Amino acid sequence: MKFALFGNTFQAKKSVHIERLLTILQKHQAEVFICQDFYDFLTKEQHMNIHVAGTFNDNNFNADMVLSIGGDGTFLKAASRVGNRNIPILGINTGRLGFLADVSPEDMEDTFDDIYNHNYKIEDRSVLQVCCDGQELKGYPYGLNEIAILKRDSSSMIAIHASINGAPLTTYQADGLVIATPTGSTAYSLSIGGPIIVPHSNTIAITPVAPHSLNVRPIVINDDWEITLDVESRSHNFLIAIDGRSETCSEGTRLSIRKAPYQIKVVKRPNHIFFHTLRDKMMWGADGRG
């Protein structure tokens, strides 16, 4: 098998897991190509002796499977590089929580035994895309987790006029608005009071950030509906953050958010169950009393 490897360049202490991963892949006679900046980090900063089939820059790679070693942030970056190419991604978690990257370093050997025995499953995860009327986004306009509209300065809230399929929904007076996929429902959206959504439920959650009104609540809609947003701001601009990548937009820019025409394929162990992850990662239902 041919693998493309992405990693976290901020986890110097975790580089021992990379050595073990490469040893396991070598045992399986895998062909491994590694992202150039990650390769430079390992060889030049960590002074590791890495033997791989080659390196690649940007999106100039092809593979049977993409490997992301780090946390969910690393996985999201890998997903943005994969885009619409239908290459499945396996996330190895050396970060903290790990919803997308949920294979522990201790389970790597068993996981790759399963992969080579074709004993794994692939989950299709929906992606959001944003289009700007009047301004072209500099970055990648697709988000696996969420698209967030946020105030740019620390003083005043923004007004976000939201419509669904052309019909007015409401005006959010808030610090921002988070539009999340089911995958992203356990990320930023959850931290601001959004609902947990089971993957594959074909929905989108819209959740305000620090709304001025107490009677504004999160809402869940069909993922084949289009969301249109017009933003007013005293500073005449605002931030749009796509899976954590942010840039400034000018007031008067109309945003259209809809489901992207492709999905991201996520590799899961055969015994993976979403509700087990909720209980293990988030202490779902745990009784903290006494």
| Residues with a known catalytic role | 72
Angle between helices 15-27 and 108-116 (to 10 degrees): 30
Query: Which SS3 state, helix, strand or coil, does residue 130 take?
Result: strand
Tokens of 177: 């608005």
| Alpha-carbon dihedral sign for residues 145, 147, 152, 157 | negative
| Residue where the block lists tokens 């509906």 | 225
| Contact between residue 240 and residue 137 where contact means Cβ atoms under 8 Å apart | yes
Query: Which SS3 state, helix, strand or coil, does residue 148 take?
Result: strand
Q: What are phi and psi of 22, to 5 degrees?
A: -65, -35
Calpha distance 13→43 (Å, rounded): 14
Reference 125, options 271, 259, 242, 226; nearest CA is 259
Calpha distance 159→146 (Å, rounded): 19
Provide the strand spans (E) within the chain: 2-7, 31-35, 54-56, 65-70, 89-93, 121-133, 142-143, 146-151, 158-164, 167-174, 176-180, 203-209, 219-222, 227-232, 237-242, 245-250, 254-268
Residues belonging to the chain? 290
